[in-house]
């Protein structure tokens, strides 16, 4: 855990715990919202092959995840950490222009 704390620039175990909680909430919430959007559009496992269903679900989750990460991180008081983390994530997806300073 010390290597992770050092890599992320975290000072306490409590902060690390909060960050793990934010990641857990964000992952579940982004999948839930994406699933809701697909249901709203009438896309489900019954009318799509499973491959296309999960492909569309992943395509919806990928851009939603970093933005929700910032919002949930802000709620838990970890905005600076998650803003930088999301910025790196979007840059790796080729969307670095979104947070260009």
Pair 65, 30: CB distance under 8 Å: yes
Q: What is the dihedral of CA 6, 12, 15, 16, to 10 degrees?
A: 50
Residue 5 tokens, joined: 């704390």
For residues 20-36, b (16+ Cβ closer than 10 Å) or e, as one string? eebeebbeebbbeebbe
Higher-scoring residue by pLDDT: 1, 69: 69
Render pLDDT for 13-52 as a digit per residue (tens, 0 to 9).
Answer: 899 999 999 999 999 999 899 989 899 988 888 888 999 9
- Position 6 pLDDT exceeds 80: yes
User: What's the pLDDT score for residue 77?
Assistant: 92
Give CA–CA dist 1/64, Å, rounded: 28
């Amino acid at each position: 855990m010390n290597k992770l704390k050092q890599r992320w620039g975290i000072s306490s175990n409590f902060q690390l715990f909060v960050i793990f909680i934010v990641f857990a909430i964000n992952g579940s919430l982004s999948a839930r919202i994406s699933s809701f959007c697909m249901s709203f559009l009438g896309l489900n496992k019954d009318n799509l092959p499973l491959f296309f269903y999960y492909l569309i679900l992943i395509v919806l989750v990928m851009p939603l995840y970093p933005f929700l990460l910032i919002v949930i991180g802000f709620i838990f008081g970890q905005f600076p950490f998650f803003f930088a983390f999301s910025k790196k994530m979007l840059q790796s997806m080729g969307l670095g222009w979104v947070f260009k300073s």
